[in-house]
Amino acid sequence: MFEKISPYAVLCAAIIAIIYAIIQFYSVKSKPEGTEKMQEISAKIRKGAMAYLKRQYKTVGIFAFPLHFFPADSFRDFLALSV
């Protein structure tokens, strides 16, 4: 019986969570952005965060992108041979 109810319960929980996130998003966006000094600090933090993410994506991409060209079995064999 639980196996039949479980997917629906998960779906309902996911829909409720998405609705809650949308409500929270609009609640935060409706608030004032703060003083000019706060906006200036926020812009600097955003710029630094974007630089960090750009570097992270570049580093991860160097290692993750080539893995798309190897099927899982052949890559596993390659790793076994290299050890």
Answer yes or no: are the C-beta atoms of 42 and 34 closer than 8 Å. yes
Same domain as 21, residue 40? no
Question: How many domains is the chain built from?
Answer: 2
The pLDDT tens digits for 7-28 are 899 999 999 999 999 999 999 9
Same domain as 62, residue 83? yes
Range of the domain at 26: 1-31
Q: What's the pLDDT at 20?
A: 98
Same domain as 38, residue 22? no
Same domain as 82, residue 62? yes
Same domain as 60, residue 39? yes
When comparing pLDDT for 64 and 67, which is higher?
64
